[in-house]
Amino acid sequence: MAIISIMFFSALSNFVGQKEVQLEASTPLEALNILRGRLDEKINEVLFDNSGNIRRYINIYLNGRNLSSIDDLEAPLKEGDKIMLAPVVSGG
């Protein structure tokens, strides 16, 4: 297991009430599950759907690289890695 940081960007940091949390996890998926257990229910509804999956309008990055598949979410974490959660930006 590695001690990593999860960073919240834009409106997500307002919902969570902080910009960054640290936790110990082996994979990004495990980190997200640990995070779910730490946050209150209202915040969880913003980040996760009823199945416990991260909502589609939230991008997940590991050290700046978009994690777009379940295989990416099962990649091993290293000490000091940073997972970033950011809402999808769209416009016209």
Helix/strand/coil for 20: strand
Assigned token pair, 20: 């960054």
Q: How many domains does the chain have?
A: 1
CATH number at residue 52: 3.10.20.30
Q: Which range marks the domain in which residue 59 is found?
A: 2-87
pTM recorded for the entire structure: 0.87
In a domain, 23, yes or no: yes
In a domain, 55, yes or no: yes
pLDDT in tens, 5-40: 999 998 889 888 899 999 999 999 999 999 989 888
In a domain, 21, yes or no: yes
In a domain, 68, yes or no: yes
In a domain, 65, yes or no: yes
In a domain, 92, yes or no: no
Per-residue CA distances from 56 to 46, 59, 68, 76, 77 (Å) = 11, 7, 11, 23, 23
